[in-house]
Amino acid sequence: MGSTLAEKVWNEHLVRRGTGHEPDLLYIDLHLVHEVTSPQAFEGLRLAGREVRRPDLTLATEDHNVPTEGAELPIADPVSRTQVDTLRKNCAEFGVRLHSMGDTEQGIVHVVGPQLGLTQPGTTVVCGDSHTSTHGAFGALAFGIGTSEVEHVLATQTLPLRPFRTMAINVEGTLRPGVTSKDVILAVISRIGTGGGQGYVLEYRGSAVESMSMEARMTMCNMSIEAGARAGMIAPDETTFEYLKGRSHAPRDADWDAAVEYWKSLRTDSDAVYDAEVTIDADTLTPFVTWGTNPGQGVPLGERVPDPEEIADEEARAATEKALEYMDLTAGTPLRDVAVDTVFLGSCTNGRIEDLRSAAELLRDREVSSDVRMLVVPGSMRVRQQAEEEGLNEVFTAAGAEWRSAGCSMCLGMNPDQLSPGERAASTSNRNFEGRQGKGGRTHLVSPVVAAATAVRGTLSSPEDL
């Protein structure tokens, strides 16, 4: 029997196969670090008198707690300032490369890794952040880990793990204009639920996936976590190779040729068997939007707010009632009639140059509604620089949006960019939990083009509405 892509990468990294109740031991190729989950891990090394085993395979950047304006000033919030300062001290003490605020390569860790060419097919990538699954778009086995696991990788460059199951997500057909990979993954989560991928590595396949850009693929793999999965993967192809070629940490010359030859072997064998399969018809998809308080509570934008009375399952009905109460939505309301206060374009899901370009194209020669505040936050300072070279910042500011520096920003309430209680946002981020973007804030997850259209019209809208 053949092997799936995930199984191939797993087996290539086995240091020791577990026996009995013992997990396997995997070698880790790349360890990404940020300020939130690393302090206790570094302190554990310090107390045990250990060093970082492979500082050359470890990269740190500041992202979660950093302000996106006034980066040249001291961080005002004492907790955020302490976390960032602690990361800087730990990286200096243990010899870990760090990209701090003001650095061209500073930004969200899951944007920085790929743009540097550090994320490569067939590698294992970990970080103390659930959205490490982003890197699976390159054919890497990438997943988030906890603080104790961060310490284990820092000390040994290995990680004990039990094998995952595999699930194929087949997306066949052609996406309509205005429909993006963000809509695809929201449709997948709506189909299988937020726990449907639990215990699985999801492999996205099919003609629609193969036609996607690398940035679109990263968006899809990023939100595998919202389906409950441990990781998401896409087999590398010419699109992958073209993206990586020439990047600062990508192989060169003869090493490049050898790498590509190996990368081409990283495909699921024709006789491999997945533990589960799901098929999505790309031809039928339209822009998606969430209405509730988890990423699985989403429907096509053209539909209405669901009516709990029409839901037979008692538990699902109660969850819907609770979500609608928090979101202050009335059953039966057309989603296009829902007005928003804020639009957030950014995050590790949709803060890359392609995302900014698509939104800017819709905002060109248009204005953000007077009732809406729009924040545009590049995923990295490198993305910001590129956007400014292309004049995208001028398009955004001319439309009335705020142009910011890189960081996680309004994706989560750990920095100054937060919603006020009761404020409603259309957000290109990945989670719409209660209070995720600020205490009492209400979040609708959307794609970059839906975000831009919503900013113009003031209500949840798709590009075709313009």
List, edge to edge, every strand of the sheet that includes 97-99: 97-99, 58-61, 30-33, 124-127, 141-144
State the pLDDT at residue 190.
96
Average pLDDT of the residues in 277-289: 98
Do strands 298-300 and 288-290 pair parallel, antiparallel, or not at all (unpaired)?
antiparallel
pTM: 0.97
Q: State the span(s) of the chain assigned CATH 3.40.1060.10.
A: 165-284
Q: CB of 150 within 8 A of CB of 38? A: yes
For 91-127, write each residue's pLDDT tens digit: 999 999 999 999 999 999 999 999 999 999 999 999 9
State the pLDDT at residue 71.
79
For 334-364, write each residue's pLDDT tens digit: 999 999 999 999 999 999 999 999 999 999 9
For 178-188, write each residue's pLDDT tens digit: 999 999 999 99
Instruction: Read off the amino acid at residue 384.
Output: R
State the pLDDT at residue 72.
80
Do strands 276-281 and 165-172 pair parallel, antiparallel, or not at all (unpaired)?
parallel
State the pLDDT at residue 70.
85
Q: State the span(s) of the chain assigned CATH 3.30.499.10.
A: 5-160, 290-465
Residue 32's DSSP bridge partners are: 59, 127
Q: Which are the contacts of 440, defined by CB distance < 8 A and separation ≥ 6?
A: 419, 420, 421, 422, 423
State the pLDDT at residue 273.
97
Q: CB of 62 within 8 A of CB of 99? A: yes
Q: CB of 356 within 8 A of CB of 83? A: no
Q: What CATH number belongs to 290-465?
A: 3.30.499.10
Residue for token digits 């729009």? 374
Average pLDDT of the residues in 197-206: 98
Percent of the chain's residues with pLDDT above 70? 100
Average pLDDT of the residues in 407-434: 96
For 236-266, write each residue's pLDDT tens digit: 999 999 999 999 999 999 999 999 999 999 9
Burial of 22 (0-12, 13-18, 19+ CB in 10 A): exposed
Higher model confidence: residue 233 or residue 20? 233
For domain 165-284, give its CATH number from 3.40.1060.10, 1.10.4100.10, 3.40.50.300, 2.60.40.180.
3.40.1060.10
Binding residues for [4Fe-4S] cluster: 348, 408, 411
Binding residues: 348, 408, 411
For 4-48, write each residue's pLDDT tens digit: 999 999 999 999 999 888 999 999 999 999 999 999 999 999 999
Rg (CA), the chain: 21
pLDDT band of 1, cuts 50, 70, 90: confident
State the pLDDT at residue 373.
98
pLDDT band of 81, cuts 50, 70, 90: very high
CATH 3.40.50.720, applies to 5-160:
no
pLDDT band of 75, cuts 50, 70, 90: very high
State the pLDDT at residue 20.
83
Return the ∠ at Cα 227 (arms to 309 and 140), rounded to 5°: 165
